[in-house]
Structure 1
Amino acid sequence: MSDSENKKIKGLFNMGDFGNYFVRVFQKPDPNQKSNYNLRMMHGINKISIVVFLLAIIFWIVKRFI
């Protein structure tokens, strides 16, 4: 595969800032960065929402095909 074909394939899976957020939300916060209560709660709620959504998708797939 040539270099340009590799870039095209990687581009299909590139989620940019949107995809990076889902990775960052599950990482430990940077101790050097100032954080407040509202920001921590927002990230906590987002974590719960992502996990519930993924569980619902898995449940739907299992129910659909079994």
Structure 2
Amino acid sequence: MSKLMEYLRLAPVFGYFVRVFKKDKDGKYPTSTNLRMMHGINKISIIMFSICVLVLIYRFFFRD
């Protein structure tokens, strides 16, 4: 059971979201052009996904 709970932890996922939207001032993570582009695309997809979830929630509650 503890192994299953370890797989279902969401803390690393939210940690990634915070890291994507923050600048790395300490130089802790490697940087390259490809990596910056990947993080930029991830930012766009996270924002689009969040907007779509909000629209679905709105439609679920306020649809006739």
**TM-score calculated relative to the size of structure 1:** 0.68
Distance 1:55 1:49 in 2: 10
Q: Which amino acid aligns with 2:21?
A: F
Output one character per residue of 1:8-51: Cα deviation in whole Å (capped at 9) or x when no partner.
xxxxxx62322200111000123635511000000000000000
Name the structure 2 match of 1:32: 27
Gaps of 5+ in 1: 1-13
Name the structure 1 match of 2:37: 41
Aligned residue-pair number: 53
Distance 1:47 1:56 in 2: 14
Task: Kindly name which structure, 1 or 2, has the bigger radius of gyration based on alpha carbons.
Answer: 1
Higher mean alpha-carbon deviation, 39-48 vs 16-25, is at 16-25
Q: Which amino acid aligns with 1:16?
A: A
**TM-score calculated relative to the size of structure 2:** 0.70
Gaps of 5+ in 2: 1-8
Overall identity of the aligned pairs, in %: 43
Task: Give the CA RMSD over aligned residues.
Answer: 1.7
Name the structure 2 match of 1:15: 10
